[in-house]
Structure 1
Amino acid sequence: MGWLSDVLKRNSELEWMFDLDLTSETTHRAYLKKLALETCINFIARTISQSDFRIMVDGKRQFDDWHYLLNIRPNTDQTATGFWQDFVYRLIYDNEVLVIMTENNDLLIADDFDRQEFAVYPDIFTNVTVKDYTFRRTFRMNEVIHMEYNNEKLTNFMDGMFKDFGDLFSRMIEISMRNHQIRGTVGLDTSQKLDKENQSKLQAFIDKLFTSFRKNTVALVPKLKGFEYDEVAKGDGKGQSIEEITKLKRSLIDDIANIIGIPIALIHGELSDYETSVKAYVKFGNSPIVRKIQNELNAKILTKEEYLNGSRIDVFGLTERDVVENAEAVDKLVASGAFTRNEVRELFGKERSDDPELDKFVITKNYQAASEGGEN
């Protein structure tokens, strides 16, 4: 840099020109991360938020306070659908979620908290914050609903890969814009006196010139003495296409969907192999989280004695089988004597009937004949 310093010292006009704002800083495309996470996590959160929570005692559904809290309105500010969507989103994004119950019997999702872990005693949660309010009391593990997602793949991916993808995405957009930009040169008569006032005026004029070319399809520029603008090149239109930029965004969404367990065809709304994709999602994406929620509710809402005596909290949503679509399978289950009609009702998420006939095993004549070797 020594030769450049000498040149600048010999020519003061060149020295101030290097201070002109001719470039702009690269911006990090943070919305790329937001787009991928919102697309995938909200997809699974919306599906689970449609679940139906059923408190079952002796095979009968109970409509009590817990039914209202879990299915209608958990607190004064949220419906059940919004509550469970927020619950699942925090579970996946933060890798854990904490729900407390207030003195007014409201279920609230904590925005922040501190956890003290113990080996043989229940863990304790302190500094539990909801919105702008921090509770002074402590909450024991058996007093709250607490779940961990335990998916370090997603956490590591978000921490590391998003920065690389964001930088690559920014560079692709910059190259595309650069290849479509109009380039020109500005000639100055350096014989003029270039004090700070004239420098400021010249910089303002160049800024207006640039803005005029960038925002207007037709731009007229006054011709000034000692100031010449010549357009030397136009963008050739080559470089990163819109399709390539779209493929990069899709690739990131696909990676997150695979980690969470969402078939790619579903996340992009593709109808090919739709039924197969739905079955795969229910089995590998939806059911594991629903099972986690169901186990946690059974452990925290019901006592050990109630659970061992047959009380249950069942969660039905996408996992619930459609009776009409499976009518043929239902007929075979009952007709073969493999299941009673009440057991089949339970398989499809329905309540048991009080009719004792539905607890009997039935074998139709067709199956009886087949077991006896037919008419011969």
Structure 2
Amino acid sequence: MGLWSWFSGLFKDDGTLKLDVCVGEIAAEVYYKELAVQACVNLIANAVSRSEFLTYEKGQKKRGENYYLFNVEPNQNKSSSKFWRDVIHKLVYENECLVIQQDGKFYVADEFTSLKYAFKENIYKDIVIEGYQLSNTYLESQVFHFELHDEKIKTVVEGLYQSYGKLIAASQNYYKKNNAKRGTLKIPTSYPQTEQAQNDLTDLLSARFKKFFEATGGAVLPLTNGLEYDEIGSKTNSKTEGGSKEIRGFIDDIFDFVAIAFQVPPQLLKGNVADTDKAVNNFLTFCINPLAELLADEINRKLYGKKSYLENTYLKIDTTRIKSVDISDVAGPLEILLRIGSYSIDDCLEALGMEPLNTEWSRARWMTKNYERAETRAKGGGENGNA
């Protein structure tokens, strides 16, 4: 009788069964926010890893030990691309990233504890790297401690998504209900009350109806003992299409809000090709360049120090190579820079991602003869005083 009490409670007074009570609950948690955040992090990390970390000594470019560490192999287990992706991932997700130098190599800390002070150096301890906990403590001057903002961006995004996640889940629920099959099952009063008949009815409702509704092709549902199933017409296509567009609109909003939080142009995040050049320029100007400056400032003040920096021995992050350019698009500008003496031939080759010739004539500056001093032209004469 316990089974019959449960079963009879599913029916309405007219003997019909609401089939939606047999449909599994729709998961409220959706992952569009995490997808948007991951897309932003990957986009930023890929851009930074494509940058070149230029090292200068006394104002001259030098490819030495530091250049190799920052651009090729920070440590024996990671390439520079993987290393800087890890740094950016932690910086964006946790709002800070700690990098220590051990035996001339750089390592990203997975965990650490910091003791903050106002008038003396901060202390970092309980440092964990790849599951190994260090016993040493480090002073502020001995580590790179990159900090992004005062408040974690991801925390702000989480708060925003708490409301939008409910809207998306509700829209999904509405869309699925409008597209779900519904019907009524009529059970005659003469239906057998035997235990076998009740087991067959339970199997029909819990198993065979489920397979019938989930069938992607044609399906037949055999009914016995006078059972009759009548399908209830679904909503119109226009309404279901509207629900689909509403869900897509909410998802687009999530991507837009996350992109704004990370200062990434939304069209880049969503893969739109319209105005790509302008979007990339904005991405470099407002997102990547400030981040590159943050990294360079911390490295310069800790690794090089004040004395070396003032003597033009420092590190600079070149983000110009992030953007892929067609050689035909830059040929004109490079020619102008060459003829006014701003670029040498080696400078032009490096701008194109090619190796410089490193010869005396390729490093020389050239200028067209059409230029002369401004005050000479103002007096109405040439270089020798002639008109």
TM-score range, shorter-chain basis?
A: 0.7 to 0.9
SS of the residue corresponding to residue 99 of structure 1 reads strand
Residues 95-110 of structure 1: pairs in structure 2 closer than 5 A: 95-103=95-103, 105-110=104-109
Question: 2:113 touches 2:124 (CA, 8 Å); kept in 1?
Answer: yes
SS of the residue corresponding to residue 186 of structure 1 reads strand
Q: Which residue of 2 aligns with 1:366?
A: 371
Question: 1:181 touches 1:234 (CA, 8 Å); kept in 2?
Answer: yes
Equivalent AA in structure 2 for residue 366 of structure 1: Y
Q: Which residue of 2 aligns with 1:53?
A: 53
Q: Which residue of 2 aligns with 1:283?
A: 285
SS of the residue corresponding to residue 40 of structure 1 reads helix
In the alignment, structure 2 segments of 5+ residues that lack a partner are 12-20
Q: Which residue of 2 aligns with 1:26?
A: 26
Residues 131-170 of structure 1: pairs in structure 2 closer than 5 A: 131-150=130-149, 152=151, 154-170=153-169
Equivalent AA in structure 1 for residue 124 of structure 2: F
Q: Which residue of 1 aligns with 2:258?
A: 256
In the alignment, structure 1 segments of 5+ residues that lack a partner are 1-8
Give the distance between the partners of 2:6 and 2:337, measured in 1 at CA.
87
Give the distance between the partners of 2:62 and 2:37, measured in 1 at CA.
37
Give the distance between the partners of 2:210 and 2:33, measured in 1 at CA.
31
Q: Which residue of 1 aligns with 2:16?
A: none
Equivalent AA in structure 2 for residue 94 of structure 1: E
Residues 301-320 of structure 1: pairs in structure 2 closer than 5 A: 301-318=303-320
Give the distance between the partners of 2:216 and 2:148, measured in 1 at CA.
51
Q: How much has 1:183 moved relative to structure 2?
A: 0.4
Give the distance between the partners of 1:71 and 1:280, measured in 2 at CA.
25
Query: Which stretch of the first structure deviates more once superposed, 239-248 or 211-220?
Result: 239-248
Query: Which stretch of the first structure deviates more once superposed, 214-223 or 148-157?
Result: 148-157
Q: How much has 1:307 moved relative to structure 2?
A: 1.7
Equivalent AA in structure 1 for residue 233 of structure 2: A
In structure 2, the CA distance between the partners of 1:23 and 1:320, relative to structure 1 (3 Å rule), is closer
Q: Which residue of 2 aligns with 1:243?
A: 245
Q: Which residue of 2 aligns with 1:71?
A: 71
Equivalent AA in structure 2 for residue 247 of structure 1: G
SS of the residue corresponding to residue 315 of structure 1 reads strand
Question: 1:13 touches 1:194 (CA, 8 Å); kept in 2?
Answer: no
Alignment RMSD (CA, Å) = 3.8
Q: Deviations over 1:291-318 (max 9, x none)?
A: 0011111112113322222201111123
Q: Deviations over 1:8-32 (max 9, x none)?
A: x9x9844444479624333134311
Q: How much has 1:188 moved relative to structure 2?
A: 4.1
Give the distance between the partners of 1:166 and 1:138, measured in 2 at CA.
42
SS of the residue corresponding to residue 30 of structure 1 reads coil
In structure 2, the CA distance between the partners of 1:15 and 1:274, relative to structure 1 (3 Å rule), is closer
Query: Which stretch of the first structure deviates more once superposed, 108-117 or 291-300?
Result: 108-117
Question: 1:125 touches 1:140 (CA, 8 Å); kept in 2?
Answer: yes
Q: How much has 1:59 moved relative to structure 2?
A: 3.0
Q: How much has 1:43 moved relative to structure 2?
A: 1.2
Equivalent AA in structure 2 for residue 256 of structure 1: V
Equivalent AA in structure 2 for residue 163 of structure 1: Q
Give the distance between the partners of 1:286 and 1:149, measured in 2 at CA.
12
TM-score (norm 2): 0.78
Aligned residue-pair number? 360
Q: How much has 1:93 moved relative to structure 2?
A: 2.0
Q: Which residue of 2 aligns with 1:266?
A: 268
Question: 1:40 touches 1:253 (CA, 8 Å); kept in 2?
Answer: no
Question: 1:96 touches 1:148 (CA, 8 Å); kept in 2?
Answer: yes
Give the distance between the partners of 1:232 and 1:278, measured in 2 at CA.
52
TM-score (norm 1): 0.80
Runs (4+) off by over 6 Å:
197-200, 319-323, 339-342, 347-351, 353-363
Q: Which residue of 2 aligns with 1:84?
A: 84
Give yes or no for the alignment of 1:326 onto 2:309: no
In structure 2, the CA distance between the partners of 1:287 and 1:12, relative to structure 1 (3 Å rule), is closer
Query: Which stretch of the first structure deviates more once superposed, 267-276 or 321-330?
Result: 321-330
Q: How much has 1:290 moved relative to structure 2?
A: 0.5
What is the identity percentage for the equivalent residue pairs of Structure 1 and Structure 2?
23
Residues 335-350 of structure 1: pairs in structure 2 closer than 5 A: none
Query: Which stretch of the first structure deviates more once superposed, 17-26 or 50-59?
Result: 17-26
Query: Which stretch of the first structure deviates more once superposed, 293-302 or 319-328?
Result: 319-328
Question: 1:257 touches 1:267 (CA, 8 Å); kept in 2?
Answer: yes
